[in-house]
Structure 1
Amino acid sequence: MILNRFVWLPLLLLLGSSAIAQDIQSLLTKINAYHDSRPIEKMHLHLDKYSYTAGETIWFKAYTVVGAENLLSNLSNIAYVDLVSPKDEIVANIKIPLASGLGLGDITLADTLIEGTYRLRAYNNWMRNDSSAYFFQQNILVSNGRLDNVQTQSQISGDNYVVLLRDLQGTPLTEKAVRYAISKDGKVLKRGRLNSGADGRLEIPLKDEYTQAKLSIQFENQAQVPVEKIFKIPAVGARPNSVQFFPEGGHLLAGTLNKVAIKTLQPNGLGIAAKTYILTSGGDTAAIIKTNKLGMGASHLFIDPKESFTTATYFEDGTSVQTSLPPIETSGYNIQVNNGNVNRLFAQVNMSSDKQNGKDIYLVVHHLGRTYYVSKQAASKAELTFSVPKEELPSGVLTISVLNHDLVPLMERPVFIFQTARELPLAVALSAPSTGTRKHVTVSLESGNPSDSVRNAVLSASVINASKIRDSIQLMPNILTSLLLSADLNGYIENPGYYFDGDFKSNEVDHLLLTHGWRKIDLASALTPGEPAFLPEKSISIRGQARKLGRKAPAAGAKMTLISSKNFMDFIDTVANDEGYFEFDQLFFPDSVKFLITAKDDKGKNNIDIIVPKAEETPAGPNRNAPDEKNDINAKFLDDILQSKQFFAGLEAQGLMEKTIAIQEVVVTARSSKKKASENSANLNGPGNADQVLTAEDLETCPTLEMCLNGRLLGVMFRNGRPYTTRGGGEMQVVLDGMYIEGDQLSMINPVDIQSIEVLRNVGYTAIYGSYGGNGLIIITSKTGRDAIQSYTPKGIVTVQPKGFNLNRTFYKPVYEINSENQLQRDLRTTIHWEPNIVTNSEGKATFDFYTSDEKGTYLIILEGLDLQGRLIRKTIPLEVR
């Protein structure tokens, strides 16, 4: 791992002139140099809400910070945001620019999305040097009432997984032919076919190894539209709850007082309240540990060297389990931390008699490579007490590391510091505490204190109809949980907002840190770090290598030109270096733009091969929040789906939303004497594997290709000569004899020269094309086909389509005033308003406004952001609409 989160940096130590002191200073200097060149960035996305339905848009603002103080970062200027499906596939990937660590973006949820638990993942190139576990990740629930229109109820019943299929009105889907597949860790464990019963019931046999596997079922709904559902199979068979023990600092030491934390879990990975009794060999109770509702708790335990212990845990569901404590050491160290004092952090290092050798013990308090406190004491007694002033400590997860005289890490203990002075003061005033429907509301903000030298803050605000949010908003992730907890802890955090809901729950957070395990420090990697694999991106770059034609030898000094296909008069020149490598940087362009790269040698010849490697993709990887994944989302949000269908119908009638067009799937079973598609087709799925195929005979009477295709290609419409999909409205990719071309070039192709045209719209055909297939493809094969390609190989020219920046849309904001044209006929919005770019002035003041919808109830204004000092804020303000 290039970036190690748990390597520490020094402050100046007042050390003597001994040889060991020189070794310490040398070590600290090396680590200091390492981390000065490798600061660690953290990222948070503020979303407009936490659940969506197909057809809606995810609106978000990105906050990128660096260092323990959460200062806005200028390190990276580009961020990536992925939408990962319940099948662990990246279904949307956008690139957004960052300015001083801030960026805006949006992702439209296509009507073809599978219902289920999706996750948003955000990161930048520099963050890829560290573990992807520290990327921003958040689950969101997505229902689908656009094309899906099926609700399910699923559960384990006996030895089967039972799924009930019903339409949105509750009518069972009877006698539906269903294909199913059970997969786990990328491997298919079982495939099968069955029909739903008279009550829409499916019964799929289970085995123990199917636990936590994904079940996929595919069928047609009542409108004959193909539908797929994904279910995460819960624990199969009778699986008990479990308990884990976590000694403070990683060690249980005999003859001393120890602190032991526990974590009690259900088989699905969620916490469960329980009570654990630690019993002596004689059956006496040595300690009792009671967990909270998230399954975490801690207590002290004195360990008699002559005693042995057992434990008994009783869960709130009536079950119990008996187990043993972790091994008890008779020689070694342990640590006890007291974080309850407002002004000071106390730590006591205990050691066995054989470790009391008079040599120095070092205690270091650090965070992400920056040290805030260093102290040493001689190991001359059983207990060493350290007192750390909190005044200079930042808010967030800090690590206490204990090292011996030889600088060998002995143990470490994470602690959470919550400095109220590090919280951004933010006053919020509404034009009225309550209001009516379709009324204007103004929100006035004032950040900071009058004594602050700088009061500017950057904020984002979401206004939502709280009655449509199923989960508790106070328990959901937010800027505090992202930047102060999740960015520093590897693993799942259940209900992260719980710790900051109301008064800060310091004891609960301490139990969370104790049960996230003991992390061993690796100092060696900091001394020999090598070059980072991924550099901070300041702009979009296109890199490659120029080689002599047909050889691997570099074309040193080749003159390279980058030409935009949008404007052939717009070009950039550069020269390849001695190894043939070239780079065009400082680029800024929207996504979907294609470029031509040309090359000539010093004699003006184009006998050059241009190699442009594909951008390395970041795999979706496992979901760190997997225990929160839910099934049967359509059923959970049925009322919202029905209401959203009315709302979308109104938007479609006003021309504010594309209509959903579902084309009935046609299955052709007749055999043909020959393939309709040309055998020379460049279709990556194989010739003829397409949703629709036109042959030369179909095109015989066409005066122009565009006129012939318009109206004949299913699911395709033409605008200004370019083909667009009717499902989502995006422009389709045209491929001519294996070459990607622009859609408006269709008018230049003579229909007489075409052998076949294939239309790819189904994800089963388009997936192989990656981002090129997002809106479908039209594959055109000329009558010369591959023969023409083989007879002529382009030299010194290549077409590339690097990923550009996402084009942000503007949030639609109705205005309900007399004579206003910007109104909705029926306003049933869930996200009432999205204001991502709030900047308070030098006096800390800013305002924004919005109009309420047609629905009464409680609205919530959710504000997040930070100021230039890195002080964070998350605030919710209710608004009653009557």
Structure 2
Amino acid sequence: MQGFYRLSRPEKAYLHLDKSVYTVGETMWFSASVVAADTHRPDTLSRVLHVELLAGNGRVVSRRELRLDGGRSHGAITLPDTLAPDTYQLRAYTGWMRNAGPEFFFSRRIQIWPAASLVGDSSPAQLRANAVAARRLSTTLSRAPDVQFFAEGGSLVAGLTNVVAFKATDYAGNGLDVQGQVLDAQDKPVATFRSSHLGMGSFSFAPVAGQRYHAVVAPGGVALQVPLPAVQQEGYTLHVVTLASAFLVTIQRHGGSSSTVSLLGQVRGQVAYMAHGELTAGHETYTTRIPTSQFPAGIVQFTLVDAQGQPLAERLAFAALNPNLRVTLTPDRASYGPRQPVRVHVAVADAAGQPVAMPLSLAVADAGAVDASAETIAANLLLTSDLAGYIENPGYYFQNPTPETAQHLDALLLTQGWRRFVWKQLLAGPLAAPEFGVERAIGIRGQVTQPSGKPVAGGTVTYLQTRPEKIYLSTRTNPEGRFLFTGLDQCNDTTRLTLQARTDRGKRNLLLSLDPGPPVPAGRLPVLPLQTPAALADAVQRSQAQHAAEIKLQFDTTHNVMLSNVQVNARRAVPTDSRRIYPLGSATVLRMDDYPTARNGSSTALQMLQGRVPGVSVTGVDPNIHVQIRGINSLSGSSEPLYLLDGVPITADALAYFPAADVETIEILKGGQAAIFGSRGSAGVIAVYTRRGSPNYSPSVEKAPGVLALRVPGYACAREFYAPRYDVATARRNLPDPRRSTLYWNPRVSTNAAGQADVTFFTADAVGQFRLSAEGISAAGQPAVGSGNLLVR
């Protein structure tokens, strides 16, 4: 177990959001943390974090690449006005996390509501939209619910009293209240059950050898018969009861011969408890009381193993949250008026009251848009990140710890089993080599195959980058035909590049594909409800009103002056290009915008020279095209002209498949025109200049067999949250300030050695209740969560 963490070094990612729900046109602000999965210390293994917003069909709506510094970063996603209102999935992961699978990525469902209010809107378009939403909701709700039963410890054992847990969910994984009966093969009732929280619960009964059992349930009014796990004639049960300060563990055995067994208790690979004993043949019971103080906070995995280390039974429990850090947020006044300064005192202390210096992110948002049961960094690191599948309302289990809450959490652990690693895989031998490496910089992964789909091993892939810097690289494919280029850290610029592939014998009729990214987990996202709680509906309407006001204010941010007829006399300025070191008039210029075939992706740059420039001879076919400028005698004896790409000398081979669609101009210099290049230009110069600054230009991805032309986005720019100050004279003071949905966001709050910090901002014109929330992770790996209220009236 410890070896698993030592060798695989799994990571966890978490995003702290400014609020829980959004409307179209808003900005989603987030702070990112990446930690080691075992110690929760801020991780420095990976340096790149991928953040994606996925639609219900799995389509990536928005993507951000973040540069991690000490396991931390922050960013924002602007939700475009064209985005369809719906439930989306926000996920974050590193390249290294892909080895564990998408089940262990950070994932959170996000409701995005329309920009315009639906209340009172009876337009034909809105009525049609409502009808479509109603049909979608009706269709999804008609799908059969999912009901599953789980034997505590892993197996139903005949002759013993077994605890069986169950979980009933709808199509989207949300819990459904359920009750029913357990019947044997003769339809005789043997047990009854009723869910206690989010469709989950448990019951006890003593199965009989040779019998088969099934449950009769009707979740959501749909009658179902669900089989229970098969009954084993002999085996072990592992029963755990979580008390206030201890775990009461009971091991029962039925049948078999005497054997030595061991009970292990570990949290994230750290063994905190181990005991050995011998159970005699027949019926045997062993009970022990283990203090919870022996375990670090989080999921405790109790495993019963035999003398050979083979697992016999397994049970999850949860250790209390005593070691958590406490964050207090104290505004300097009980209430505030519009546009008044707010000073929030932030203090962080451990369980003993000692101050802690650490980084935090702080959000102040409309209280109606913040879900108190949403996931926090504590809930994520200690619970949801170590469980596969969707967890409904994870913050509930940490919000108000009570015996009832602990019981509901126990039901969750009985049904949502441990998935961080599988015993059979660990016992089979050494872990397989990871497929994905550690990302220290943005990279490009892909595969080269034959048209038949057979991988091309030992092939050559060349990398030709045109901006922001000119780079020419080459690499070989591995036995699976895969390749990797890394180190693409050109600040925040988009990288424009072309990839070309060939076999070791020069064959170019190949297929070059990029890594499609991690798969999207199966399962549907819920549709937006037609009826929402009053507090949420009010918050959505306030957000919609704010968005409408912001759109209107965009036209009022400057003072407009109406002028009468004005005549402007000027000469057209000729733009200069720093890439060109010779006068433009001295060259023969081909502008690609003048040739339709250059824009449709069917021609390469060298093909565009054929028959278009007098004295320039172009022979051969790609990739063996030869260009000669007639009438020029080279002193070096070579007839090959000098090739330039954006002013940088390259070989003709680098332009073999370079798409003309990426080119702005091709310029030819002959004789004395090329004298500025000395002997290098004695056979003439072919200068190719790529397009710049055209936001509407979007070349197709695949240009020719074995060639890809693409743009790779760099690191996302760290946007600053706009928070006006009203204690200084600014032109903005006389304009309305509609901020309400998110009043303030600061991802870089740091407490000092005394565990304290002060944050100052101003209220806006909006009045009402706001929710303050702060989250972070200390250098020692302890999560910190705090919240408070702010009243503006």
Distance 1:172 1:426 in 2: 48
Give the secondary-structure state (helix, strand or coil) at the position aligned to 1:391.
Answer: helix
The residue that corresponds to 1:491 in the other structure is 389
Q: 2:423 aligns with which of 521, 527, 542?
A: 521
How far is 1:299 from its partner?
A: 3.0
* CA deviation vs aligned residue, 1:70-113 (integer Å, no higher than 9, x gap): 21111111100011123321121111011111111111122222
Q: 2:376 aligns with which of 456, 471, 478?
A: 478
How far is 1:389 from its partner?
A: 3.7
Distance 1:314 1:60 in 2: 41
Distance 1:575 1:534 in 2: 20
Unaligned runs of 5+ in 1: 1-7, 10-31, 152-167, 175-195, 204-216, 218-228, 547-551, 600-606, 657-675, 687-735, 750-771, 781-788
The residue that corresponds to 2:266 in the other structure is 366
The residue that corresponds to 1:36 in the other structure is 6
The residue that corresponds to 1:703 in the other structure is none
Correspondence 1:738 to 2:659: yes
Correspondence 1:66 to 2:17: no
Correspondence 1:532 to 2:434: yes
Q: Could you tell me whether the CA contact under 8 Å between 1:142 and 1:633 is conserved in 2?
A: no
What is the 5 A alignment of 1:25-104? 32=3, 34-104=4-74
Q: Could you tell me whether the CA contact under 8 Å between 1:331 and 1:352 is conserved in 2?
A: yes
The residue that corresponds to 1:860 in the other structure is 771
The residue that corresponds to 2:231 in the other structure is 328
The residue that corresponds to 2:317 in the other structure is 415
The residue that corresponds to 2:495 in the other structure is 593
Distance 1:87 1:679 in 2: 36
Q: 1:777 aligns with which of 697, 700, 703?
A: 697
Correspondence 1:501 to 2:399: yes
Q: Which has the larger radius of gyration?
A: 2
Give the secondary-structure state (helix, strand or coil) at the position aligned to 1:833.
Answer: strand
The residue that corresponds to 1:262 in the other structure is 166
What is the 5 A alignment of 1:627-646? 628-630=526-528, 637=540, 640-646=543-549
Unaligned runs of 5+ in 2: 449-455, 560-592, 604-656, 669-691
Give the secondary-structure state (helix, strand or coil) at the position aligned to 2:487.
Answer: strand
Correspondence 1:616 to 2:515: yes
Distance 2:305 2:444 in 1: 47
Give the secondary-structure state (helix, strand or coil) at the position aligned to 2:776.
Answer: strand
The residue that corresponds to 2:253 in the other structure is 351
Give the secondary-structure state (helix, strand or coil) at the position aligned to 1:434.
Answer: coil
TM-score (norm 2): 0.72
| Larger CA deviation: 324-333 vs 486-495 | 324-333
Give the secondary-structure state (helix, strand or coil) at the position aligned to 1:442.
Answer: strand
Give the secondary-structure state (helix, strand or coil) at the position aligned to 2:356.
Answer: coil
Q: Could you tell me whether the CA contact under 8 Å between 2:774 and 2:787 is conserved in 1?
A: yes
Distance 1:878 1:288 in 2: 44
The residue that corresponds to 2:646 in the other structure is none
How far is 1:799 from its partner?
A: 7.5
Give the aligned residue type for 1:850: F
Distance 1:258 1:324 in 2: 16
Q: Could you tell me whether the CA contact under 8 Å between 1:69 and 1:395 is conserved in 2?
A: no
Give the aligned residue type for 1:810: E
Give the aligned residue type for 2:331: L
The residue that corresponds to 1:720 in the other structure is none
Give the aligned residue type for 1:95: E
What is the 5 A alignment of 1:706-721? none
The residue that corresponds to 1:248 in the other structure is 152
Give the aligned residue type for 1:616: D
The residue that corresponds to 2:205 in the other structure is 301
Distance 2:558 2:254 in 1: 77
Q: 1:813 aligns with which of 713, 723, 744?
A: 723
The residue that corresponds to 2:582 in the other structure is none
Correspondence 1:683 to 2:600: yes
Q: Could you tell me whether the CA contact under 8 Å between 2:316 and 2:414 is conserved in 1?
A: yes
Q: Could you tell me whether the CA contact under 8 Å between 1:246 and 1:517 is conserved in 2?
A: no
Q: Could you tell me whether the CA contact under 8 Å between 1:346 and 1:386 is conserved in 2?
A: yes
How far is 1:678 from its partner?
A: 7.1
How far is 1:423 from its partner?
A: 0.6
Distance 1:649 1:133 in 2: 43
Rate the CA distance shift 1:597–1:299 in 2: closer, same or farther, 3 A: closer
Q: 1:649 aligns with which of 552, 566, 573?
A: 552
Distance 1:79 1:237 in 2: 36
Distance 2:189 2:408 in 1: 24
How far is 1:464 from its partner?
A: 0.5
What is the 5 A alignment of 1:768-847? 776-777=696-697, 801-817=711-727, 819-823=729-733, 824-847=735-758
Distance 1:440 1:585 in 2: 45
Identity value in percent? 25
Distance 1:66 1:450 in 2: 23
Q: Could you tell me whether the CA contact under 8 Å between 2:157 and 2:234 is conserved in 1?
A: yes
Q: 1:142 aligns with which of 112, 121, 131?
A: 112
Q: 1:390 aligns with which of 286, 289, 292?
A: 292
Rate the CA distance shift 1:595–1:517 in 2: closer, same or farther, 3 A: closer
Distance 2:373 2:395 in 1: 4
What is the 5 A alignment of 1:717-728? none
Give the secondary-structure state (helix, strand or coil) at the position aligned to 1:398.
Answer: strand
| Larger CA deviation: 84-93 vs 240-249 | 240-249
Q: Could you tell me whether the CA contact under 8 Å between 1:398 and 1:414 is conserved in 2?
A: yes
Q: Could you tell me whether the CA contact under 8 Å between 1:116 and 1:633 is conserved in 2?
A: no
Distance 1:64 1:452 in 2: 26
Give the secondary-structure state (helix, strand or coil) at the position aligned to 1:481.
Answer: helix
Distance 1:286 1:578 in 2: 62
Q: Could you tell me whether the CA contact under 8 Å between 2:239 and 2:250 is conserved in 1?
A: yes
Correspondence 1:375 to 2:275: yes
Distance 1:241 1:545 in 2: 41
Give the aligned residue type for 2:783: L
Rate the CA distance shift 1:774–1:125 in 2: closer, same or farther, 3 A: farther
Q: Could you tell me whether the CA contact under 8 Å between 1:479 and 1:873 is conserved in 2?
A: yes
